[in-house]
Amino acid sequence: MARRRYQPEEFQPEIRRARVERLILYEVTESELEMLSRGIASDSVYLNFAVALLSVAISFVIALTSTTIESIRTFTVFVVLASVGGISGLLLLLLWFKGNQSVVSLIAAIKNRLPERPATQQQGSPTPNA
- Domain limits at 68? 29-111
Within a domain: 11: no
Query: pLDDT above 70 covers what percent of the chain?
Result: 82
DSSP three-state, residue 39: helix
Question: Which has the closest alpha carbon to 79: 91, 92, 63, 98?
Answer: 63
Within a domain: 56: yes
Write out pLDDT tens, residues 56-111: 999 999 999 999 989 999 999 999 999 999 999 999 999 988 888 888 888 888 88
Tell me the CA distances in angstroms from 104 to 99, 100, 107, 120, one per residue in order.
9, 6, 5, 31
Within a domain: 93: yes
User: Does pLDDT of 2 surpass 90?
Assistant: no
CA distance 121 to 117: 12
Number of structural domains found in the chain: 1
Within a domain: 82: yes
